[in-house]
A = this chain, B = another copy of it.
Amino acid sequence: MPKRRAVETAAIRFDIVDSSSSLSAVTQTVAGIGGKIRALATVRRIEGDPPVAEIELEVEGVTEEALVGALEGLADVRTVHLTRALDRVFGKRIIVVGGGAQVAQVALGAVSEADRHNLRGERISVDTIPLVGEEHIAAAVRAVADLPRARLLVLAGSIMGGDISVAAEELRAVGIPIIALNMVGSITDHVDLVVSDPVQAGTMAVMAVAETATFDLERQRGRRY
């Protein structure tokens, strides 16, 4: 898992005329001052003539002043605000997917444990979605690979297997470990760690990604608790 951040990231939010060419001008401008775009998201759109999009942009390798200066020079760019890179505010993300009852209990353990680490300077978020059905859960497992700052997945349910197990191996292959509750189905053979108690599963998930904890998932790989 990449844990290091080599260079500071400048983060800004701005309004821009919502067209293909206007955003392309932004990215060309960023490249022109030597910045690498780490994140760009349309956070909301404002109907009007012309329609305007509100964009959150994080750029590595340039100062905030340089970034603001360059973007304010573009004709289509409106109000520019400095913001903070989301990893400095919300930090690493534990993702919890599965049945509502179990997801809630895993979240209880994970939030309580994250509280203890965040008090000591860590930044760990606990992000959850209750879902039902092999197809939807497998899609969510695969999509965790696309979530910025996702560091670990907890699968919380009573029965999972089939395509969910396939998706689990795909996710682990891109470097995101998985903790599963002890449950029916093949999934428990396709994760890094199996934990029976959902509160403990949430706690261990946070410990596994916290710099402030001494818990090494590598040394627990394949075990069941």
Q: A residues within 8 Å of B by Cβ?
A: 2, 11, 13, 18-21, 23-24, 26-28, 30-31, 34-45, 53-54, 56, 61, 83-84, 86, 89-91, 99-101, 103-104, 107-108, 111-112, 114-116, 118-119, 123-132, 139-140, 142-143, 145-148, 150, 174-175
Contact = CB atoms under 8 A, between A and B. Distances in A.
Given A2-B44, A20-B34, A36-B53, 17 more contacts: A2-B45, A20-B30, A20-B35, A23-B27, A41-B146, A42-B148, A44-B175, A54-B174, A83-B143, A89-B139, A100-B112, A100-B115, A101-B112, A103-B111, A107-B128, A125-B128, A128-B128
Copies of this subunit: 2
Contact of A104 (B45, B56, B111, B125): B111
B56 A36 contact: no
B129 A114 contact: yes
B30 A143 contact: no
Contacts of A40: 37, 39-41
A31 B123 CA distance: 36
Contacts of A54: 174
